[in-house]
Amino acid sequence: MSALTINSLNLHHGLLHAVRDLTLSVSSGEVVALVGANGAGKTTLLRAIAGSHQPTSGTISLDGVDITYVPGHRRVGMGIALVPEGRRLFAQMTVEENLLLGRMAGRAGSWSVERVLEVFPNLKARRNAKAGTLSGGEQQATAIGRALMSNPSVLLLDEVSLGLSPLAVDRVYESLSDLMRSGTTIVLVEQDLNRALRVAQRVACMLEGRVVLEAPAEGLSRERVTGAYFGLKREGVPA
């Protein structure tokens, strides 16, 4: 069953047509990586799924329910959580206080501060530290933990590795590995193509607001993806 279904979606930034007639389905428990150059429309698409960018046309459905015009705060309660590009933490609040904000959605589930700290053990010693004093990797872990505290069924991760050292990226993804096998539906925007191919079950490459390549990650060559990434060869969704 599809957890998330996007049909003929169009999104604009003023006169800029950022996402064009995009159709994409994500199955329950699937990890899908969105890749593409800067400006391809990836972040705009995630924001639209989360409810912070209003579509021009098209539909977004969650578990068969049309949520196209449902406000973003209600989508969190329905099971959609976004980890935004740049983390967007409250710098003067502690790690624990930032995490507890995620619980305000009131959605039942098993995530707690203690469980987040088990998944991200590097945060244990920083539990009472202000978010503004954290390293980039610690901030990213806190942002992901805050989203998990809302007990999402669909987790949207925007640029997990952006601005982090290779070691910090490795630590974040190592912590996420169990989550990616747990049955949580994940849509991941990732600039690191090699990592996207390793962690995702399916890859969708965007170019100029459209999905130009969609295929299982297993057996998908880097050359095929980079060809679509730079528009050298447009490919439809495989049969």
What pLDDT score was predicted for residue 191?
85
Token code pair at residue 207? 């170019």
Domain residue spans of the chain: 2-229
Q: Rounded CA gap, 205 and 215, in Å?
A: 9
pLDDT in tens, 59-77: 999 999 999 999 999 999 9
* CA 39 – CA 44 distance, rounded (Å): 9
Among the listed residues 19, 139, 44, 32, the one whose alpha carbon sits nearest the alpha carbon of residue 86: 139
Residue 239, pLDDT above cutoff 50: no
1 confidence band (pLDDT: 50, 70, 90): low
- Per-residue model confidence as pLDDT tens digits over 158-188: 988 887 888 888 888 888 888 887 788 999 9
**Residue 238, pLDDT score:** 43
Residue 91 CB neighbour total at 10 angstroms: 12
Choice between 173 and 132, residue whose per-residue pLDDT is larger: 132
| 3-class DSSP string for 89-101 | CCCCCEHHHHHHH
Task: Tell me the chain's radius of gyration from C-alpha atoms.
Answer: 17
Task: Residues 2-229: name the CATH superfamily.
Answer: P-loop containing nucleotide triphosphate hydrolases (3.40.50.300)
